[in-house]
Chains A and B, each alone.
Chain A
Amino acid sequence: MNTQEALLNFCLRLADNNMIAAQRLAEWCSRGPILEEDLALTNISLDLFGQAENFYEYAATLQNNGKTADDLAFLRSEREYFNNLLVEQPNGDFAFSTMKQFLYAAFAKPLYEALQASKDETLKGITSKAVKEIKYHLRHSSEWLVRFGNGTEESLKRSQIALNELWRYTDDMFLMNDNDKALIEAGISIDLNTIKTSFMATVNEIFKAAHLSIPETNNIITGGCNAIHSEHLGVMLCEMQYLQRAHPGAQW
């Protein structure tokens, strides 16, 4: 595996994760439970679109074939998207979206922190800015989970249902392929297993405070980094890529 190709693929994975998570959060626009929260969710969405853009721009540079960041976001199909399965799951209710946001942030924070030691300066630069934002996202979602756990019976029940549904997609975030191996050897990325302890520490701490328990399930689904997705992603891309696909070459 060529390191340059592996890095390109890894950048796309990071970009796609942010892009798809941001797109899901943007669905909350005008649908929040309270105006302040509507703004908070679109704010987080905006951060993630920004991160996606930075990773896509770097990917476009690495690819060096005239394709732009927009081409990468809007003209790749579902079998060319490398995001984790978690972020593409439908929003569900506010507890479901909050849980999704929490699990993703609990993974992305230690990942970005670890990438500060990367030998690739650009990756280091992008993630050092992103880590500040992701810390806020993690705090925001953690606070809501604690509120739900200590709020009403209904809020506790809803967040436990969300956890039961979403936990099956968490292993997928730690799945690695040949790209990861090449990047670990080159000192560019990390063995994702090394941040699992940090991820588990965060979730255990918050779940304890939120009276939530991790479900026991054998139904663990993986495949995102190999572009094997759930049925939901294709539908999202149809909507997201509609104008670019319907008007090839047009400038907006």
Chain B
Amino acid sequence: MSTQEESLKKFQQRIDADEKIEPRDWMPENYRKTLIRQISQHAHSEVIGMQPEGNWVLRAPSLRAKKILLAKIQDEGGHGLYLYSAAETFGVSRAEMIQQLQEGKAKYSSIFNYPTLTWADMGAIGWLVDGAAIVNQTMLAKCSYGPYARAMLRICKEEGFHQRQGYEIMGKMMNGTPAQREMAQDAMNRFWWPSLMMFGPPDADSAHSAESMHWKIKVESNDKLRQRFIDRTVEQANHIGLTVPDKDLKYNKETMHWEFGPINWDEFWTVVKGNGPCNHQRMNHHIHYHNEGAWVREAAMAYERKISAN
């Protein structure tokens, strides 16, 4: 057995024994690459996600709503920060990751390529999008890579709060005026299917799943996580009088799961490939303000150099 094979065998044994892999440990090149891709994508998602929510900060309808939304967006930015740090444990810098994002080499969650059109969308994002994220991240907290798993644990706690505030917005609007109820249902109609797509393609078509499961980067499959989210969320929707926009939705008493209609994967791939309603806008915004801030970063670095020279 070659040294490489020997190392791989030991690595797999550690994975199988549920040990955490730490930055200095030996790991297969593909394990490293997959995690850089996944963690940086996750970090970028947090940062790009600030845009659709930021779109409503200035128009939030009460002092309380404003404070909660702003605090939530701040949390997302904070998640971005520690996810970038988790990815940096592989020796890749935040600047490089941002460059990859801006060159279109790194992706972010497609859900943020949909526009936030009304205040109810703040409810839908908190409840559905963060709700889906929690299901995924609770799984990722069991990931084999130590720094990522630990970041997830911390993030999950805050996401729980985000989901409750989103659900509260929806609940209040469903209890409100006819116009508010209409807005809430409309947000539900627009965000339901894209939220289901957040779990990624069906297991049979998922490009990275098998290897990721083998290495416990993922410990549960896309379809299983999606089902868990649906089972949870349908009940919540019913509770506040929202209709899930799926005519095929029905409860199966034997499996104790909600069965759902076909997901439009063509739409999913269209958005992933850059042709969703806001892909262009989100990336332009990110590049524009990154460039606008270049002189600030230069000034800060020049100042640091002067200070350390003295």
CA distance A42 to B169 in the complex (A): 21
A35-B47, A39-B74 as given contacts; A252 in contact with B57, CB under 8 Å: no
The answer to whether B296 touches A155 (Cβ under 8 A) is: yes
Contact of A147 among B54, B66, B70, B299 (CB under 8 A): B299
CA distance A132 to B286 in the complex (A): 33
- Quote the shortest CB–CB distance from B76 to chain A (angstroms): 10
Does any Cβ of B come within 8 Å of A228's Cβ? no
- Quote the shortest CB–CB distance from A250 to chain B (angstroms): 5
The answer to whether A151 touches B58 (Cβ under 8 A) is: no
A39-B77, A243-B59 as given contacts; A46 in contact with B67, CB under 8 Å: yes
Does any Cβ of A come within 8 Å of B306's Cβ? yes
**How extensive is the interface on chain B, given as a class?**
35 or more
List CB contacts (< 8 Å) of A46-65 with chain B. Answer: 46, 49-50, 52-53, 56
A49-B70, A147-B303, A252-B62 as given contacts; A94 in contact with B293, CB under 8 Å: yes
Minimum CB distance partner of A149 in chain B: B303
Minimum CB distance partner of B75 in chain A: A39
Does any Cβ of A come within 8 Å of B65's Cβ? yes
- Quote the shortest CB–CB distance from A83 to chain B (angstroms): 15
Minimum CB distance partner of A249 in chain B: B177
- Quote the shortest CB–CB distance from A151 to chain B (angstroms): 3
Residues of chain B within 8 A (CB-CB) of A35 are 47, 77, 80-81, 84
Minimum CB distance partner of A52 in chain B: B63
Does any Cβ of B come within 8 Å of A204's Cβ? no
Does any Cβ of B come within 8 Å of A77's Cβ? no
The answer to whether A46 touches B296 (Cβ under 8 A) is: no
List CB contacts (< 8 Å) of B176-192 with chain A. Answer: 176-177, 179-180
List CB contacts (< 8 Å) of A195-252 with chain B. Answer: 239-240, 242-244, 247, 249-252
Does any Cβ of A come within 8 Å of B135's Cβ? no
List CB contacts (< 8 Å) of B284-302 with chain A. Answer: 285, 289, 292-300, 302
State the 3 A-B residue pairs at the shortest beta-carbon distance, nearest first: A33-B293, A151-B299, A155-B299
CA distance A214 to B77 in the complex (A): 36
The answer to whether B70 touches A45 (Cβ under 8 A) is: yes
Does any Cβ of B come within 8 Å of A183's Cβ? no
A30-B50, A252-B119 as given contacts; A73 in contact with B63, CB under 8 Å: yes
Does any Cβ of A come within 8 Å of B73's Cβ? yes
Residues of chain B within 8 A (CB-CB) of A147 are 299-300, 303
Minimum CB distance partner of B77 in chain A: A39
Contact of A26 among B57, B180, B293, B302 (CB under 8 A): B57
CA distance A31 to B296 in the complex (A): 13
The answer to whether A251 touches B63 (Cβ under 8 A) is: no
Contact of A53 among B57, B63, B74 (CB under 8 A): B63
The answer to whether B59 touches A42 (Cβ under 8 A) is: no
CA distance A70 to B62 in the complex (A): 6
Residues of chain A within 8 A (CB-CB) of B263 are none
The answer to whether B70 touches A29 (Cβ under 8 A) is: yes
Residues of chain B within 8 A (CB-CB) of A74 are 61-62
Contact of A42 among B73, B297, B300 (CB under 8 A): B73
The answer to whether B58 touches A27 (Cβ under 8 A) is: yes
The answer to whether A150 touches B306 (Cβ under 8 A) is: yes
B interface residue numbers (CB < 8 A to A)? 47, 50-51, 54, 57-67, 70-71, 73-74, 77-78, 80-81, 84, 119, 169, 172-173, 175-177, 179-180, 285, 289, 292-300, 302-303, 306
Residues of chain B within 8 A (CB-CB) of A52 are 63
The answer to whether A244 touches B61 (Cβ under 8 A) is: yes
A35-B80, A49-B70, A242-B59 as given contacts; A93 in contact with B177, CB under 8 Å: no
Residues of chain B within 8 A (CB-CB) of A56 are 63
- Quote the shortest CB–CB distance from A242 to chain B (angstroms): 5
Residues of chain A within 8 A (CB-CB) of B66 are 26, 49
Does any Cβ of B come within 8 Å of A148's Cβ? yes
The answer to whether B81 touches A49 (Cβ under 8 A) is: no
The answer to whether A252 touches B61 (Cβ under 8 A) is: yes
Binary contact readout A33-47 vs B (1 if CB under 8 angstroms, 0 otherwise): 111111100110110
CA distance A50 to B70 in the complex (A): 11
The answer to whether A243 touches B119 (Cβ under 8 A) is: yes
The answer to whether A38 touches B77 (Cβ under 8 A) is: yes
Residues of chain A within 8 A (CB-CB) of B176 are 250-252
Residues of chain A within 8 A (CB-CB) of B294 are 33
Does any Cβ of B come within 8 Å of A154's Cβ? yes
Does any Cβ of B come within 8 Å of A152's Cβ? yes
CA distance A239 to B57 in the complex (A): 10
CA distance A155 to B296 in the complex (A): 7
> Told that A39-B74, A74-B62 touch, could you supply 10 new A-B pairs with CB distance under 8 A?
A26-B58, A34-B296, A38-B77, A39-B78, A43-B74, A56-B63, A146-B303, A158-B295, A243-B61, A247-B180
